[in-house]
Amino acid sequence: MLTIGELSRATGVKIPTIRYYEQMGLMAAAERSGGNQRRYEPQDRDRLSFIKHARDLGFTIEAIRELLELSAHPERPCADADTIAIRQLQIVRNKIAKLRPLEKELERIAACCHGDSIRDCYVLQSLANHDMCVSEH
């Protein structure tokens, strides 16, 4: 059995986040010791590691809930899990597409700054005046 602190250290998930996942129903409510301390089983650690990894990949709470539900039925085909992963991949690709113009504009702004003092700083001037930007971002 693991305490919440041990579970936190083992998974790298902060204690308030573990409690939040319990509230959201992603984690089952922990068993309690005689002193009312939360106690977790090794499978709780594995489930929390799964959740953390999915969150690191940007999956929403709802998508993680779907994936966890699917994982509870190992005999089912994995097409639904594939669909969820493909949906997340498209979300990431859309974010990347939106970030590329931002990257270009920041590169341009940083490269254009040749001032010796803050008074002549192109970075600060362009942040104060959106009309100095070359592209919409």
* Residue showing tokens 């070359």: 134
Are residues 87 and 55 part of one domain? no
In a domain? residue 72: no
Are residues 87 and 48 part of one domain? no
pLDDT at 135: 81
Terminal Cα-to-Cα distance of the chain (whole angstroms): 50
Buried b vs exposed e over 20-55: b needs ≥16 C-beta within 10 Å? Answer: ebbeeebbeebeeeeeeebebeeebbebbebbbebb
Range of the domain at 124: 82-132
CATH number at residue 40: 1.10.1660.10
In a domain? residue 69: no
In the chain (137 residues long), the average pLDDT of successive 10-residue segments reads 95 97 94 89 97 97 97 94 98 96 93 85 91 84
Q: How far apart are CA 84 and CA 107, in angstroms?
A: 34
72 neighbors 51 (Cβ within 8 angstroms): no
pLDDT at 114: 84
Are residues 123 and 87 part of one domain? yes
pLDDT at 71: 95
In a domain? residue 65: no
In a domain? residue 70: no
pLDDT at 93: 98
pLDDT at 134: 87
Are residues 47 and 11 part of one domain? yes
Number of domains the chain is built from: 2
